[in-house]
A = this chain, B = another copy of it.
Amino acid sequence: MAILLYELVGRDAQRPFSPHCWKVRMALSHKGLDFETVPVPFTEIPTIEGGVTKIVPLIRDGDRLVADSFAIAQYLDEAYPDRPTLFGGPGGVALSRFVESWSQRTIHPVVTSFAVRDIHDFLAPVDQAYFREDRERKLGARLEEVQEGREGRVDGFLKAIAPLRALLERQPFVGGEGPLFADYIVFGAFQWLRVASSFQPLPEGDALSQWFERCLDLYGQAGRKVPAAA
A residues contacting B by CB (< 8 A) are 85, 87-99, 101-102, 104-106, 162-164, 166-167, 170-171, 173-176, 180, 182
Residues of chain B within 8 A (CB-CB) of A92 are: 88-92, 94-95
Q: Do the beta carbons of A98 and B182 come within 8 Å of each other?
A: yes
B89 pairs with A176, CB closer than 8 A: no
CB distance from A93 to the nearest CB of B (A): 7
Whether A91 touches B167, Cβ cut-off 8 Å, given contacts A98-B98, A105-B162, A162-B105, is: no
Cα distance A176–B96 in the bound complex, in angstroms: 10
Closest to A173 in B: B94
CB of B163 within 8 A of CB of A94, answer no
User: Considering the chains assembled together, what is the distance between the CA atoms of A34 and B210 in angstroms?
Assistant: 44
**Chain B residue nearest to A86 in the complex (CB):** B91
Report yes or no: B176 in contact with A98, Cβ–Cβ below 8 A.
no
Q: Specify which chain B residues have a CB less than 8 angstroms from the CB of A170 in the assembled complex.
A: 97
User: Chain B residues with Cβ under 8 A from A94's Cβ?
Assistant: 88, 92, 171, 173-176, 180, 182
Closest B residue by C-beta to A106: B163
- Nearest chain B CB to A103 CB, angstrom units: 8
Is A167 touching B88 in the complex (CB atoms < 8 A)?
A: no
On chain B, the residues within 8 Å of A106 by CB distance are: 163
| A117 → B minimal CB distance (Å) | 26
- Nearest-neighbor residue (CB-CB) of A169 within chain B: B101
Q: Find out whether the CB atom of B90 lies under 8 angstroms from the CB atom of A166.
A: no
CB closest chain-B residue, reference A186? B98
Residue A97 contacts which of B90, B162, B167 (CB distance < 8 angstroms)?
B167
